[in-house]
Amino acid sequence: TSIAAPPSIGNCTYASVVRALADSDKIRSKSQRAVLVGSTEKSTPQETAAHDESTLKNIINVTNDSELKEAYDKGQITHHRFPENKPPVLRDRLLIGIRSVARPSFFEPSMFVRRDLMPSELEQERNARDEARKRNIEANCLKWGVRDCELIQFRGPNFRPLPSHYRNTQDKKTLLNCAPPNGSKSSQNLSLLFANCRSVRNVIDTITLLLLHRNLDILALTETWLSDADSDALLLRDLSDYFIFRSDRVDSRGGGVLIYAHSKLLPIFVSSLIIPGYECITIDIYSNSPSIHTNSLRIITVYRAPNSPLSSNLPFLDYLNLATSCQHPSLIIGSNSKPSRNYHLANWDMINNHIAMHNWTIALSNMTATEAYKYFSEFLNSILDAYVPLKTVKTSSGYPKHLSKLHDRLQQLHERAPNSDATHSLRVRFKKALKSFEIKLPKINGSPDNIPNLVFTNNLHFGHHIAQITRKARSMCNLLLRSFLTTSADILLKAYKIYIRPLLESSTIIWNPIAIGLVNQIESVQREFTRRVLGRSKLPYLTYPDRLKHFQIETLEYRRSLNDIYFLYDSLHDYVLLDTSSLYSIAPLTRSLRASHSLRIALPFVSPSSITSCATRSLTLWNSLPNQIVTMPRIPFRRLMKNSPMNVLHSSNIRM
């Protein structure tokens, strides 16, 4: 058992120091600037620059500071819409001078001067302004304000009345916070995602893209399958704004928990737990928002293995009680892989006897409905615990089906006769099969040999895959026609679209053949089924093209082409989270054409004619579409493409 001590004030100080060192360049840069907020831009850049110059000169004059005026005359104080580094001493004198006088008459209603803030300070100031606005509305006067990111109360007793637009501004602000636009988050909301990843190594690219593009605050993962040999650099990559906290399994492969926490939350490690069957990690995060009553939250990520022993439950509950006994709220997330019960081995005679012999009238006579339900649940659970065993987790569950059977037979034979010739020959057979269907992942950071293995098959070619799906689809066609006794063609075709066609269209972005024989092999399933539907419905014989028109369905080849162009649209408009750099690159034309658009694509390399992808198959069609079509919303675009069959599929390889 490994349990760390609770956090101390030193930990919080350490996190603040680390963050300050990381942002030292930004802090130094911002310490040399003052910001004038609320000055509107003019119609031209020249008018804006002249207006800013006049405003700065008036600000210097109203301060009545001779040193500031001298520095301004020498050109040491300038203005920029995009600021440059300036001495912090002059900035401080400027702020002190402007605050020592009344509000200048040339200031616009929404203008004020403050120092340049860090992103965290800017967020704190926004939250403080929201709180000041809320309190001013409650007091019905301007009683509260904000200075240096802190909430202040003005001297009374005569407070200014609220401006006419003050309440409307609050209503709009509240509406925006309740429903933030896409790509933005409310400063008081915490974005958190939990996933059971089953090996971080296999999905590290997806994790990186997810954190960079979704801007998550917390990402909690279970079943990380990491060990001490895997460094944190492997997990962080380009994620400079995140800290990681992990608890790896030490006695065997699998398991483990991991938390990615954004640096703006000031995450602090609290404790961890590693016992047989359990891995836990606990951190604290903090918020600078003054409008939130509790500015800290404890996050506990837990993974429970399916084969965890009962003896580990009590230490885990003790750890959980200790971890949640803090003053601020706690959030427990994780995966509880509790094994299911094996009802095939249940003692039904004893279960039925216990239920039949129990006097329910006496037991439930003086109970309320809630008490009776609790009593009945506890009674049934006690019977299940006594007479229904738990399913045992097989050690071969990670192997393919045929290897799992070989492994189980070898294990049974080894227990009975470990040194027999049959055991030896079966062991050799299992190892030979394992070498044919398994390859070990390359070592990462000197990881040991017992890292998780990647199982693959050498049958990943179009001929084998299409033979499999067509065989399964034909079997389903026979089963469907035997099960449905109706003669209605509409019902049979609806069942075909629900149960059979998805088998032929699974992962068509990858499994879309161009060989004429394979294209017709897939199409033959639909061709044969529609012919049999004609016979079942006692309709006259029609050719395959006429059957398609009669039943109002499309060819499978056309539907695969539609899926290609749909996927290309979704990937270019960020509807799918995928690294497409190896598929295509955006290459707009250098000269303007009528039929051109900014989302034209090009292949990153010249591929052989025998190798295709969704990009190579849809390249010509996509680049030929006009700009008003490629920029359409998703649903209208799909509807337009579906109603333009000749544009999607110029020529067909189907033998009609």
CA distances from 609 to 189, 405, 510, 560, 650 (A): 51, 41, 16, 19, 18
pLDDT at 349 > cutoff 80: yes
- 280 vs 603, which has greater pLDDT? 280
pLDDT at 110 > cutoff 90: no
Backbone angles phi, psi at 96, to 5 degrees: -65, -40
Mean pLDDT of the chain: 78
Q: Are residues 220 and 160 in the same domain?
A: no
pLDDT of res. 590: 66
pLDDT at 298 > cutoff 80: yes
pLDDT band at 11 (very low <50, low <70, confident <90, very high): very low
In a domain, 470, yes or no: no
Task: Count Cβ atoms below 10 Å from residue 522 Cβ, excluding itself.
Answer: 24
In a domain, 56, yes or no: yes
Which long-range contacts link 203-207 to residues 24+ away (Cβ below 8 Å)?
A: 204/234, 204/235, 204/237, 205/579, 206/577, 207/260
Q: Give the C-alpha separation, 24 to 29, whole Å.
A: 8
Structure tokens at 442: 């390359």
Altogether, the residues listed in the chain come to a count of 656
Q: Give the C-alpha separation, 239 to 216, whole Å.
A: 12
pLDDT band at 602 (very low <50, low <70, confident <90, very high): confident
pLDDT band at 294 (very low <50, low <70, confident <90, very high): low
pLDDT of res. 238: 76
Q: Give the C-alpha separation, 601 to 572, whole Å.
A: 9
Strand-pair category, 330-336 with 296-304: parallel
Q: Give the C-alpha separation, 246 to 226, whole Å.
A: 9
- The answer to whether the Cα torsion of 206, 211, 214, 218 is positive or negative is positive
* Averaged pLDDT for residues 397-425: 81
| Rg for the chain, CA atoms, rounded | 35
Closest CA to 503 of 530, 477, 533: 477
Q: Give the C-alpha separation, 249 to 272, whole Å.
A: 11
Q: Give the C-alpha separation, 436 to 182, whole Å.
A: 48
pLDDT at 33 > cutoff 60: yes
pLDDT at 285 > cutoff 70: yes
**DSSP letters of 7-29?**
P-HHHHHHHHHHHHHHTHHHHHH
pLDDT of res. 256: 92
pLDDT at 477 > cutoff 90: yes
pLDDT of res. 12: 44
pLDDT of res. 183: 40
Q: Are residues 222 and 322 in the same domain?
A: yes
Judge whether 303 and 257 are in contact, CB under 8 Å. yes
pLDDT at 269 > cutoff 80: yes
* Averaged pLDDT for residues 632-638: 90
pLDDT band at 37 (very low <50, low <70, confident <90, very high): low
Task: Count Cβ atoms below 10 Å from residue 603 Cβ, excluding itself.
Answer: 14
In a domain, 466, yes or no: no
Judge whether 118 and 23 are in contact, CB under 8 Å. yes
In this structure, of 165-179, 505-519, 581-595, the range with the lowest mean pLDDT score is 165-179
pLDDT of res. 589: 72
Q: Are residues 138 and 197 in the same domain?
A: no
The fraction of the chain above a pLDDT of 70, given in percent, is: 76
Q: Are residues 374 and 275 in the same domain?
A: no
pLDDT of res. 444: 40
Closest CA to 340 of 384, 378, 275, 296: 384
Structure tokens at 133: 């606005």
pLDDT of res. 553: 92
Q: Give the C-alpha separation, 137 to 127, whole Å.
A: 16
pLDDT at 275 > cutoff 60: yes
Judge whether 510 and 583 are in contact, CB under 8 Å. no
In a domain, 472, yes or no: no
pLDDT of res. 508: 87
Beta-carbon contacts of residue 113 (< 8 Å; ≥ 6 apart):
34, 35, 36, 37, 59, 94, 95, 98
Q: Are residues 201 and 313 in the same domain?
A: yes
pLDDT at 40 > cutoff 90: no
In a domain, 303, yes or no: yes
- 100 vs 177, which has greater pLDDT? 100
pLDDT at 609 > cutoff 80: no
In a domain, 11, yes or no: no
Judge whether 243 and 261 are in contact, CB under 8 Å. yes
pLDDT of res. 551: 93
Q: Are residues 570 and 533 in the same domain?
A: no
Q: Are residues 613 and 567 in the same domain?
A: yes
Q: Are residues 291 and 355 in the same domain?
A: no
In this structure, of 43-47, 468-472, 517-521, the range with the lowest mean pLDDT score is 43-47
pLDDT of res. 610: 65
Would you call 450 helix, strand, or coil by DSSP?
coil
Q: Give the C-alpha separation, 640 to 631, whole Å.
A: 12
Structure tokens at 399: 């192997």
pLDDT at 365 > cutoff 80: yes
Domain boundary pick from 504, 523, 553? 553
Q: Are residues 299 and 411 in the same domain?
A: no
Name the region of 370 (left: φ>0; alpha: ψ -120 to 50; beta: rest).
alpha
pLDDT of res. 239: 83
pLDDT of res. 415: 82
pLDDT band at 448 (very low <50, low <70, confident <90, very high): very low
Backbone angles phi, psi at 535, to 5 degrees: -65, -40
**DSSP letters of 185-217?**
--TT---EEEEE-S-HHHHHHHHHHHHHHH--S
In a domain, 4, yes or no: no
Name the region of 116 (left: φ>0; alpha: ψ -120 to 50; beta: rest).
beta
Domain boundary pick from 526, 553, 580? 553
Model's pTM, two decimal places?
A: 0.39
The fraction of the chain above a pLDDT of 90, given in percent, is: 20
Burial of 385 (0-12, 13-18, 19+ CB in 10 A): exposed
Q: Are residues 359 and 318 in the same domain?
A: no
* Averaged pLDDT for residues 121-137: 80
- Strand order of the β-sheet with 330-336 is 268-275, 278-286, 296-304, 330-336
Which long-range contacts link 441-445 to residues 24+ away (Cβ below 8 Å)?
A: 441/201, 444/201, 444/229, 444/230, 444/234, 445/229, 445/230, 445/231, 445/234
* Averaged pLDDT for residues 139-147: 81
Q: Give the C-alpha separation, 85 to 30, whole Å.
A: 8
Q: Please measure the distance between the N-terminal and C-terminal CA atoms of the chain and give it in whole angstroms.
A: 70
Q: Are residues 208 and 313 in the same domain?
A: yes
Q: Are residues 236 and 313 in the same domain?
A: yes
Question: What's the domain count of the chain?
Answer: 7
For residue 300, what are the β-bridge partners?
282, 332
Q: What share of the chain is helix, strand, coil (3-state, %, to 5)?
A: 50, 15, 40
pLDDT of res. 178: 36
pLDDT at 83 > cutoff 70: no
pLDDT band at 451 (very low <50, low <70, confident <90, very high): very low
Name the region of 339 (left: φ>0; alpha: ψ -120 to 50; beta: rest).
beta
Torsion on CA atoms 239, 245, 250, 256, rounded to nearest 10: -80
Q: Give the C-alpha separation, 283 to 192, whole Å.
A: 14
* Averaged pLDDT for residues 307-332: 87
Q: Which amino acid is at 624?
A: S
CA angle 380, 383, 385 (to 5 degrees): 110
Judge whether 162 and 136 are in contact, CB under 8 Å. yes
* Averaged pLDDT for residues 438-463: 50
Domain boundary pick from 90, 115, 140? 115
Q: What does the pLDDT look like over 209-233, one tens digit per residue?
A: 888 888 889 999 999 988 888 888 8
Would you call 649 helix, strand, or coil by DSSP?
coil
In a domain, 654, yes or no: no
| Domain that residue 142 falls in | 126-178
pLDDT of res. 121: 67
